[in-house]
Amino acid sequence: MPAARVLIDGPSELVFDYAIPAGLPVQPGCRVRVPLRNKSSTGTVLAVSHDDPTDLGFALRPLHSLTDPEPLITPKLLDLARWIADYYVCSIESVVRVLLPEAVRTEENSAKTRKAVVLPAPPDPVILEQLAKRAPKQHAILAILTHSPDHQLPLADLGSVAGPSVKALASRGLVEIIDQEVRRDPDADGIDEILPTTDLPLSEEQQAALDAILATAADATRRPFLLHGVTGSGKTEVYLQAARHMLDAGKTVLVLVPEISLTPQTVRRFRARFAHIQDQVAVLHSNLSQGERFDEWHRIRKGKARIVIGARSAVFAPLPDLGLIIVDEEHENSYKQDQVPRYHGRDVAVLRAHLEGATIVLGSATPSLESWQNSLDAKYHLVRLTHRADGQSLPLIRVIDMRLEAKKQKSRDSFLSDRLRNAIEDRLAKNEQTILFLNRRGFARSLQCPSCGHVCQCPHCALALTYHRTDDRLICHICGHQAVVPRKCPECKDPAIVLQGFGTQKVEDVFHKVFPTARIARIDADALRKKNALRDLLNAFRARKIDLLIGTQMIAKGLHFPNVTLVGILNADIGLHVPDFRAGERVFQLLTQVAGRAGRGSLEGEVIVQTFTPHSPSIQFARHHDFDGFAEQELEMRRHFHYPPFSRCALLTVRSTHERRAEFTLQTLHRRLKETLPKGIDLGEPLPSPLVKAHGQFRFQLILRGPKARVLARHVQQVLQKTPLPEDVTAVFDMDALSFT
């Protein structure tokens, strides 16, 4: 008798083998009901083996039944799950749990039904006439049904008094009462009126990009596309038209965005373009109810929803006949999940496209250097949009040297330059809008001199040193290099070298004082906690009820407001000196994206960047809208120091409420990793994490680099398997880590 390996639903990742009763078509990916101790439970079949289980020396209990006639996970998605488990060093169970969202696994969510009344055949006129005289209510019901679509109506719609009449009609066989499946429609209320749009005539560049993308359907190699288009170049229009072609060809389309709530305009444009097939569009927000998620998931699986828009986890949407995957803003870090399984949505999308034979387009104005290097290596097919679609030029970017400003204003913590203040006053007078951007990354602190802009760096790693308050030291968290905190700036000898940082709240308070008549609003994580807060704020901004919008990283994404003519970046430096080799890349991306919010209408845009390090390459290349120049010099640095994309980089973190135990465990792991270290792997030193303590747990970490992800992952996995961890100590492995805190 064949056996099935079943992952039991529930929080604890139990896996058991069960015998498959004869005749039951159990396949991998099926959902089954199984006995568990003296109860029964549901689960997912991970694998089916045809070996004789009697070899085990004991009989397996048979599973009870299939809960769905067909597998819910397709063989290709199961392959994808296995790859993820292998690559990111996590259990297949943890991957299956994201593949089949809880809403789909939980039985209580099963399809919702309601009673409906159906007219099976047109009523006999003789009977109708009788009823009209003797039972006018029954007559009325038949008349309503005759004129209803499909000759049916929900029972509830007939009103509470109709019950007895319907029963009477049913008993004579004149109507039937059925259980009708109803979709819990997440858009039934709440989304604003959407005006349908049609394809725009494409520019030459757009047309060339679209042609290239559509041509792959016939191309056997199917390299992923990297669509590099400057902000406002019309990438979205290319996505929309590519998607339409795929739908017309009978295929389905998956669109990934960094975060649904922060990209309302992209979602809106897809809805508007596909308004004519609105019920085929599924938008997977994080705030769907369990019932809605269940229904959307099944609509997608059955091919009823043929275009799916969602964030990271939507990469697992069970679309049949997948023809096209679009990953918008492919450089965004939010594609990386920061919990197990720690997959990168973009990378998983690339693999999924490969497995499914689908076309994939990665789009960005600031591609990640990983994707960029892949295009240089001809692994990806590069297509470019070099002009703004509306013919406008890219905004003028001015860089303000805050070192001079600090001298001029005789104040070390001023964050508003004269230039920016004048520019804002000018916009207020002209009734144009301003976005002010406050760069806030993490808590990691670096030391920077306000006079000369000098930042304390590791001599070995080209990284900002992190200030550790506990032992008042500067530490490089790649190699462990330590330095004492200088009493004065090593460069210019100014004793005022300080820790950097201020918050949105403080900025807002100051701006209220400086511009007392301006209408000012702030967008940050706090402001977004309320439901619809972001939507309401953005709507107010669009309606020009706000003059000045202050925000963090959040507002850097695809927002499009024609009346915004000024964007100010208050502190371009902060992100530059975090201890992360991607710091320069992030700042370049951020400046470019934020600047891209200016001048998107008929009015020209201006961008003012305040910085203590005006000559930093990230700032200078962004100022000249020079992605290629930036990439070239940044890649040189990465190559020199063996950072990605020229190596794979992973982070091993050990956490515990006991500081010594966490530290000791990491040291033990480090020793074992070192003993059997495969050639080519560079093992970092065990060190306190920049975020030394979080959620009551002490954190220690080490960084590994190597040419091959698999070799690295396997080595760590083997050591972890052989090293029992003390109770209350957890080890977390993050392959292709994007955050090193």
Footprint of ligand ADP (CB under 6 A) = 200-203, 206, 229, 231-237, 389-390, 560
**Which of 579/614 has CB closer to Zn ion?**
579
Cβ pair 498, 413 in contact under 8 A: no
Interface region with Zn ion, contact rule CB under 5 A, candidates 120-128, 132-140, 452-460, 571-579: 452-460
Residue 235 site contact among ligand ADP, Zn ion, none (CB < 5 to 8 Å, cut-off depends on kind): ligand ADP
**Which of 234/551 has CB closer to ligand ADP?**
234
Residue 479 site contact among ligand ADP, Zn ion, none (CB < 5 to 8 Å, cut-off depends on kind): Zn ion
Contacts of 618 (CB under 8 A, 6+ apart): 576, 584, 585, 587, 588, 591, 630
**Which of 236/610 has CB closer to ligand ADP?**
236
Match 């004149």 to its residue by tokens.
Answer: 174
Residue 156 site contact among Zn ion, ligand ADP, none (CB < 5 to 8 Å, cut-off depends on kind): none
Residue 202 site contact among Zn ion, ligand ADP, none (CB < 5 to 8 Å, cut-off depends on kind): ligand ADP
**Which of 159/201 has CB closer to ligand ADP?**
201
Q: How many CB atoms lie within 10 A of CB 488?
A: 12
**Which of 460/545 has CB closer to Zn ion?**
460
Match 């039937």 to its residue by tokens.
Answer: 176
Residue 461 site contact among ligand ADP, Zn ion, none (CB < 5 to 8 Å, cut-off depends on kind): Zn ion
- What number of helices (H) and strands (E) belong to the chain? 21, 31
Torsion of CA 586, 589, 590, 591, to 10 degrees: 120
Collapsing DSSP to helix, strand or coil, 647 comes out as: coil
640 binds Zn ion (CB under 5 A): no
**513 burial type by CB count under 10 A (0-12 exposed, 13-18 middle, 19+ buried):** exposed
Strands 687-694 and 697-706: antiparallel
Residue 311 site contact among Zn ion, ligand ADP, none (CB < 5 to 8 Å, cut-off depends on kind): none
Helix (H) or strand (E) holding 35: strand 31-36
- Sheet (strand 473-475) strand order: 466-468, 473-475, 482-484
Closest by CA position to 3, among listed 73, 40, 55, 74:
55
Q: Among 479, 540, 603, 683, which residue interacts with Zn ion (rule: CB under 5 A)?
A: 479
CA atoms within 13 A on the CB side of 307: 27
Distance CA 237, CA 250 (A): 20
Helix (H) or strand (E) holding 378: none
**Which of 232/318 has CB closer to ligand ADP?**
232
Q: Supply the minimum distance, in Å, between the C-beta of residue 730 and Zn ion.
A: 26
**Which of 1/200 has CB closer to ligand ADP?**
200
Residue 127 site contact among ligand ADP, Zn ion, none (CB < 5 to 8 Å, cut-off depends on kind): none
**Which of 89/389 has CB closer to ligand ADP?**
389
708 binds Zn ion (CB under 5 A): no
Distance CA 118, CA 159 (A): 15
Residue 205 site contact among Zn ion, ligand ADP, none (CB < 5 to 8 Å, cut-off depends on kind): none
**Which of 140/272 has CB closer to ligand ADP?**
272
642 binds Zn ion (CB under 5 A): no
Distance of CA 633 to the CA centre of its chain: 28
Residue 458 site contact among Zn ion, ligand ADP, none (CB < 5 to 8 Å, cut-off depends on kind): Zn ion
**Which of 334/392 has CB closer to ligand ADP?**
392
Distance CA 683, CA 679 (A): 11
Q: Supply the minimum distance, in Å, between the C-beta of residue 633 and ligand ADP.
A: 25
List phi, psi (to 5°) of 452: -115, -10
Residue 89 site contact among ligand ADP, Zn ion, none (CB < 5 to 8 Å, cut-off depends on kind): none
Q: Supply the minimum distance, in Å, between the C-beta of residue 568 and ligand ADP.
A: 21
435 binds Zn ion (CB under 5 A): no
- Alpha carbon of 674 to those of 651, 671, 716: distances in Å? 15, 5, 10
**Which of 73/389 has CB closer to ligand ADP?**
389
Tokens of 389: 């679609």
Residue 574 site contact among ligand ADP, Zn ion, none (CB < 5 to 8 Å, cut-off depends on kind): none
**Which of 326/576 has CB closer to ligand ADP?**
326
Q: Supply the minimum distance, in Å, between the C-beta of residue 6 and Zn ion.
A: 48
Q: Supply the minimum distance, in Å, between the C-beta of residue 474 and Zn ion.
A: 11
Distance CA 635, CA 529 (A): 38
Cβ pair 35, 83 in contact under 8 A: no
Residue 319 site contact among Zn ion, ligand ADP, none (CB < 5 to 8 Å, cut-off depends on kind): none
Q: Supply the minimum distance, in Å, between the C-beta of residue 201 and ligand ADP.
A: 6
Q: What is the DSSP letter of 329?
A: T
**Which of 67/197 has CB closer to ligand ADP?**
197
Distance CA 229, CA 235 (A): 6
Residue 460 site contact among Zn ion, ligand ADP, none (CB < 5 to 8 Å, cut-off depends on kind): Zn ion
Q: Supply the minimum distance, in Å, between the C-beta of residue 275 and ligand ADP.
A: 16
Instruction: Please give, one letter per residue, the 3-state secondary structure of 59-81.
Output: CCCECCEECCCCCCCCHHHHHHH
Q: Which residue spans within 542-626 are E strands per DSSP?
A: 548-551, 564-569, 606-611
Tokens of 8: 């039991």
Q: Supply the minimum distance, in Å, between the C-beta of residue 467 and Zn ion.
A: 15
Q: Among 104, 174, 348, 458, which residue interacts with Zn ion (rule: CB under 5 A)?
A: 458
Distance CA 691, CA 694 (A): 7
72 binds Zn ion (CB under 5 A): no
**Which of 237/663 has CB closer to ligand ADP?**
237
List phi, psi (to 5°) of 712: -60, -50
- Alpha carbon of 567 to those of 40, 316, 705, 716, 720: distances in Å? 60, 37, 38, 46, 49
Distance CA 519, CA 431 (A): 11
Cβ pair 705, 624 in contact under 8 A: no
Match 């972001």 to its residue by tokens.
Answer: 534
Q: Supply the minimum distance, in Å, between the C-beta of residue 560 and ligand ADP.
A: 6
Residue 229 site contact among Zn ion, ligand ADP, none (CB < 5 to 8 Å, cut-off depends on kind): ligand ADP
Q: Supply the minimum distance, in Å, between the C-beta of residue 475 and Zn ion.
A: 9
Match 């209990």 to its residue by tokens.
Answer: 61
**Which of 329/585 has CB closer to ligand ADP?**
329
Q: Supply the minimum distance, in Å, between the C-beta of residue 363 and ligand ADP.
A: 7
**Which of 20/458 has CB closer to Zn ion?**
458
476 binds Zn ion (CB under 5 A): yes
The site that binds Zn ion (CB under 5 A) totals a number of residues, namely 7
Distance CA 688, CA 720 (A): 19
Q: Supply the minimum distance, in Å, between the C-beta of residue 566 and ligand ADP.
A: 19
Tokens of 429: 């007078």
460 binds Zn ion (CB under 5 A): yes
Helix (H) or strand (E) holding 160: none
Cβ pair 699, 692 in contact under 8 A: yes
Q: Supply the minimum distance, in Å, between the C-beta of residue 485 and Zn ion.
A: 16
Q: Among 5, 222, 244, 481, which residue interacts with Zn ion (rule: CB under 5 A)?
A: 481
Q: Supply the minimum distance, in Å, between the C-beta of residue 626 and ligand ADP.
A: 18
Residue 82 site contact among Zn ion, ligand ADP, none (CB < 5 to 8 Å, cut-off depends on kind): none
Residue 582 site contact among ligand ADP, Zn ion, none (CB < 5 to 8 Å, cut-off depends on kind): none
Q: Among 30, 283, 461, 650, which residue interacts with Zn ion (rule: CB under 5 A)?
A: 461
Residue ranges binding Zn ion (CB under 5 A): 458, 460-461, 476, 478-479, 481
